[in-house]
Amino acid sequence: MKKILNLISDEMMQAFEQAGYERALGKVTPSNRPDLCEYQCNGAMAGAKQYKKAPIMIANDVAAKLSDSAVFEKVEAVAPGFLNLTLKKEFVGNYVKDMRVDPKYGLKENETPATIIIDYGGPNIAKPLHIGHLRSAIIGESVKRILRYIGHNVIGDVHLGDWGLQMGLVMNELKIRKPELVYFDETYTGMYPEEPPFTLSELEELYPFASKRSKEDDAYKADAMNCTFKLQSGVKGYRALWNHIIAVSVTDLKKNYERLNVVFDLWNGESAVHDMIPGMVDAMKKEGYAYLSEGALVVDVKEDTDTKEIPPCMILKSDGAALYNTTDLATIMMRMEQNKPDKIIYMTDKRQELYFEQVFRCARKTKLVKPETELTFIGFGTMNGKDGKPFKTRDGGVMRLESLIQEIHDEMLKKITENRNIEDEEARQTAETVALAALKYGDLSNQASKDYIFDIDRFTSSEGDTGPYILYTIVRIKSILAKYIENGGNLQTIYSDIKSPVNNSEKQLMMELAKFNSSVEVAAEEYAPHKLCAYIYDLANAFNHFYHETKILAEEDMSRKAGWIALLTLTRDVLETSIDLLGFSAPERM
């Protein structure tokens, strides 16, 4: 379907044309004085000079052409030359009626679908997930769903950190604790055990311990680096042990992500490109892009137009070891070979911005990507505590993701059971669903690049711009619909369709519904889930306003009542589709 704003503009442009003015002047925008009108057009002001006429005269000419318009109920030319517009009820009613039978509620799918890889999540094996990983997962998942919904072919890749020093640290510490393990016997030629030689909690304890010690003990760190080297150069026992670490961690990661309703298409790790690195490096040398600088191999990436210093991109350290960016460059190469993406989007903390700028420039310069391949970085801000500092546990430690989710879940459960007696299991499940909405909406409703304050009380509140408020609204609609069915109504064959609105709150609700397509489009274009949040908040408010002013189920005119029920099903569907694009869902009751 065409966007409602375009239909409105078309009508206005036609009137400009009929009145003898340039068509383009008829562009309409939402009103910035909603107390006076719903939409406005400032074209008469813009055209005054060109036509050497007072703007009000132009406005009057145009308004006269719209006296029996099918779109506008009222077109007011007001001094000095504004056109204040009010829509016809039938026009609005028909638009939402068409939306209800459109598979995507009026959204037109992209005509030229692109293949897009989203690199998000980015957890590191053996290291606990932290809040940065949480934001990447939440925002990335939503951007992925939005882009997919508008018709792109989107591939989400978790890009596991599974190949760096942290692996060596874990292995080295394990070697100290259990030197008898067969993995460390380099003369061993038999099969390796199928059972991992550690549990998940043992594994989780190893990394923080080893990381701390490596910072205080150089010899210990050297041993860990040696283990990393053995792993990377393919020593069999180390590879076998590594496989165990990956398997145990990935199982746990998948559980965590599942709880967050985050689903990856690819579980590739940094390790996946290990074997591609030598070839890539050789090519960079041969083509003359890479050169030695103080022992390290680098590619210059600065450009004449730079206003700040962009340091060279380091490809190999002086000891020949690959770095974080080496893997990222090789991963770009692999993705271009395997998936041929038109676009790759990276989602990390905004502190990695310069880093990605270097990687992107290097990838372009060394022709790992095509000139038209888009490489996009989306950096997000920090999640802070109420003190404005990065969020910590009560005792001041780094907050682990699981504890954070648990905390918000407990708070939600408390609120849900406070003044109700829902069955225990149902309450627990509802709390799980609502807690996820609280957490995700709390994050997504802020512009990603900004820091925000994680405020459990506010996020879990059922009032205001929060996830639970949106869910309450959906549940409210569902319960009205359930009662309608209980009283013998049927939602499959509602015997009357959406009609023209009878009052202003109904019209406002319809006008909000009509913005669904444009809101999703903007959120997709700008990779901005917060714009979709703002949309559903307005929509929920409009619905609740309508609900408070209208006795829906008590309405005696059956056809009018059925029309409202149809409107409710559309509102529910648009809200539920939107929250699905944000990555959460609503319960049946709360």
- Binding to ligand ARG by CB under 6 A, coded x per residue (else -) over 312-331, reads ----------------x---
Q: Which of 69, 84, 271, 348 touches ligand ARG by CB under 6 A?
A: 348
Number of neighbours of residue 79 by Cβ within 10 angstroms: 9
Sole binder of ligand ARG in the list 61, 119, 173, 512 (CB under 6 A): 119
Q: What separation in angstroms does the CA of 3 have from each of 23, 210, 385, 527, 578?
A: 19, 57, 40, 20, 17
Beta-strand relationship, 374-380 and 343-349: parallel
Binding footprint of ligand ARG, residue count (CB under 6 A): 8
Q: How far is the CB of 291 from ligand ARG (least distance, A)?
A: 24
Least distance between ligand ARG and beta carbon 436 (Å): 22
State in angstroms the smallest separation of the CB of 120 from ligand ARG.
8
Q: Which residues contact 171 (CB under 8 A, 6 or more apart)?
A: 224, 227, 228, 231, 238, 241, 242, 245
257 lies in the site for ligand ARG, by CB under 6 A = no
Q: Give the CA distances from residue 328 to residues 124, 169, 358, 363, 370, in Å, rounded to whole numbers and listed in that order.
A: 14, 22, 11, 9, 16
Laid out side by side, the sheet with 343-349 consists of: 153-157, 115-119, 343-349, 374-380
346 counts as binding ligand ARG under rule CB under 6 A: yes
**What is the Cα–Cα distance from 250 to 509, expressed in whole angstroms?**
45
User: How many angstroms separate the CA atoms of 516 and 579, rounded?
Assistant: 12
Least separation, in Å, of the C-beta of 478 and ligand ARG? 39
- If one asks whether residue 264 binds ligand ARG (CB under 6 A), the answer comes out as no
* Rounded Cα distance, 482 and 151, in Å: 33
Cβ 363 to ligand ARG shortest distance, Å: 12
Report the C-alpha dihedral over residues 342, 348, 354, 357, rounded to 10 degrees: -10
CB 512 to ligand ARG: min, Å: 37
Q: Considering the complex, what minimum distance in angstroms separates the CB of residue 358 from ligand ARG?
A: 12
Q: Smaller CB distance to ligand ARG: residue 332 or 567? A: 332
Half-sphere exposure of 231 (CA within 13 A, CB side): 29
Q: Which of 47, 81, 93, 122 binds ligand ARG (CB under 6 A)?
A: 122
Q: How far is the CB of 509 from ligand ARG (least distance, A)?
A: 42
Q: Taking CB positions, which residue lies at the least distance from ligand ARG?
A: 122
Strands, E assignment, 207-267: none
Q: For residues 347 and 540, which CB has a smaller minimum distance to ligand ARG in the complex?
A: 347
Please identify, using beta-carbon distances, which residue of 313 and 590 lies nearer to ligand ARG: 313
Q: Which is nearer to ligand ARG, 334 or 534 (CB)?
A: 334
Give the residues across from 292 on adjacent strands.
297
Q: Give the residue carrying structure tokens 């600065």.
A: 302
- Scanning 60-68, 117-125, 299-307, 445-453 for contacts with ligand ARG by CB under 6 A, the matching segment is 117-125
Pick the binder of ligand ARG from 9, 40, 84, 124 (CB under 6 A): 124
Count other C-beta atoms under 10 Å from residue 268's C-beta: 19
Binding mask 126-165 toward ligand ARG (x if CB under 6 A, else -) reads ---------------------------------x-x----
- For ligand ARG, the binding residues in 36-55 under the rule CB under 6 A are none
- Distances in whole angstroms, Cα of residue 223 to Cα of each of 64, 169, 175, 188, 523: 85, 8, 10, 21, 49
Q: Are 507 and 92 in contact (CB under 8 A)?
A: yes
Contact set with ligand ARG (CB under 6 A): 119, 122, 124, 159, 161, 328, 346, 348
